[in-house]
Amino acid sequence: MNGCKFQFTRPTGQYSGTMNVYISSAYAGLATNYKGVFGIYEVATGKRVAVSAQTVGLANGWNTIALVGNFQLVNGAWYWLAMHTPPLFYVAIRTSASGVGVAGQYMWISTTTKTYDGTLPATLPTFAGTNARIASIYTSLATSGTSPPPSTDQTTPPPATDATTPAPSSNTNLAAIPNNWCMTYGSGKQIIFLDNNVVRTPGKPSIRLEQHTTADVNTNRECNGKWYPVKPGDHIVAKCWIKVDATYINTDPYCGGRLGMDLYGSNGAGGITILDSYPHDGAQHTASEVHWGTVGWTLRTWDIIVQNTIYTKDLYGNTIPATPITKMVLWLDVRPVTATGLVWFADAELYINPI
C-alpha cells in the first residue's frame, strides 16, 4: 500500500502492521540519534487510530517501525499516515520509487506549532505548510482479524508429545499451582521451584523462577502450563499474581516477570505448530509483565476470544496447510533470562468459556 493519504479497501476489522519510513539524506538535521513516533489518522475526524512507540536511532534510508497492537480500520474510509520527529510533524507523505518525497504531496507542521515531545497527539494538529524533501512513509498491514505479526521474543513451545487435557466449559480453574504446571524443564539442573515461603495466599505455594545459566537447558527461563483444546469463538481468561525480587534493578521496560499464552494449530503432518503468541508487542508486554522495581504482588490478566482466522503460515513464517487455532498453553517467564533477581508466580487461574 503506497501513498500516504489512502482509502482503505480491505474488509472492516482489526489489523496490525508496520510503517516503513524513508529518511532522506537531504535533511541536514539528521543525526545518529534521530528519533520519531509514527501513526495513522482518520481524514474525516482527525482522530488517531494507530501509533508506534518512540523509535530512537533512525537512519538514512528505509526504517521499519511496528505499530502497537491491533487497530480498527473501516472499509472505504480515508486515512493519513503521520510521523512526528524533531523538529517537524509530517502527514500525507507520498512515496516515489526512490523513496524520496514528491513535491506538493504532503504537509508538515513546524516547531512553532508542534514541539517534539515523543508522542503523536490524539487528534491531528492544524497544518502549517508544505515541504517536499524530508522523508517518505508507507504502511504494511497484516491480514484482517487480530492475528499479530510474528514476534522476535517467544517462548520455546512445550514438547509436542505433551498430553492435551480436555477443557471443560465451566468455572474450573485449569491453571492451579502446582498440578496444572510442568515443574521440570528438560534434564539436569532445574530453575523452576515450588516455594512455600514466598506466597500470596497462606497455604498455597508459588512458583519461583531462578536465573538461567549454562548449567541448565531452560534457555527461556520459563514454566509451561498444561495444553488445552480450544476453537474459534472460545473465551479464554487467564490470571496470575507476580512478585519480582526487590533487590534486583533493571530499567528495561520489557523486562521482569510475565504471564503469556501460545496458540497452536495443525502442521498438516499429524503434529502441531505455533500460530500466535501473547504478548506480541510493546503494549502487550506492559499489560502482561511486572517490571523489575515493582513492589509487592501484582495481578496480570489475559481476557481474549479465540479468533476465527484460518492460518496458512505459522508464527515463524513457514507455510503450513490451512488450519484454525486448535490448542493453547499458558506460560510464565522472566526477562532477562540471566538476571540474578528471582520472580514468583502465585494464585494462577485459567478458565475456558467461564459460565
| Residue 29: domain span | 5-141
Note whether 200 and 346 are same-domain residues. Answer: yes
Radius of gyration of the chain (CA): 23
Domain count, the chain: 2
Note whether 259 and 318 are same-domain residues. Answer: yes
**What is the pLDDT, as a whole number, of residue 126?**
58
Residues with Cβ within 8 Å of 179's Cβ and at least 6 positions away in sequence, in order, are none
Note whether 129 and 229 are same-domain residues. Answer: no
Is residue 187 a part of any domain in this protein?
Answer: no
Note whether 47 and 119 are same-domain residues. Answer: yes
Note whether 198 and 347 are same-domain residues. Answer: yes
**What is the pLDDT, as a whole number, of residue 122?**
75
Is residue 299 a part of any domain in this protein?
Answer: yes
With vertex at residue 48, the alpha carbon angle to CA 43 and CA 51, rounded to the nearest 5 degrees, is 130
**What is the pLDDT, as a whole number, of residue 175?**
96
Note whether 101 and 222 are same-domain residues. Answer: no
CB-based burial label for 7 (10 Å; 0-12, 13-18, 19+): exposed
Write the DSSP string, 72-122: EE-TT-EEEEEEE-SS-EEESPPB-TTSPBPTTS-EEE-TTT----S---S
Note whether 210 and 309 are same-domain residues. Answer: yes
Note whether 232 and 108 are same-domain residues. Answer: no
Is residue 345 a part of any domain in this protein?
Answer: yes
**What is the pLDDT, as a whole number, of residue 82?**
78
Note whether 207 and 293 are same-domain residues. Answer: yes
CATH of the domain at 201: 2.60.120
b/e map of 255-268 (b: 16 or more CB within 10 Å)? bbbbbbbbbbbbbe
200, 346 Cβ separation under 8 angstroms: yes
Note whether 236 and 132 are same-domain residues. Answer: no
Is residue 168 a part of any domain in this protein?
Answer: no
Note whether 30 and 105 are same-domain residues. Answer: yes
Note whether 209 and 345 are same-domain residues. Answer: yes
Low-confidence ranges of the chain (pLDDT < 70): 1-7, 9, 11, 22-34, 56-57, 59-62, 86-118, 125-170
Is residue 103 a part of any domain in this protein?
Answer: yes
Is residue 157 a part of any domain in this protein?
Answer: no
Residues with Cβ within 8 Å of 159's Cβ and at least 6 positions away in sequence, in order, are none
> If DSSP codes are grouped into helix, strand and coil, which group holds residue 287?
helix
Is residue 155 a part of any domain in this protein?
Answer: no
Is residue 134 a part of any domain in this protein?
Answer: yes
> pLDDT (tens digit, 9 = 90+) per residue, 95-129?
333 333 333 333 444 333 456 666 777 777 655 44
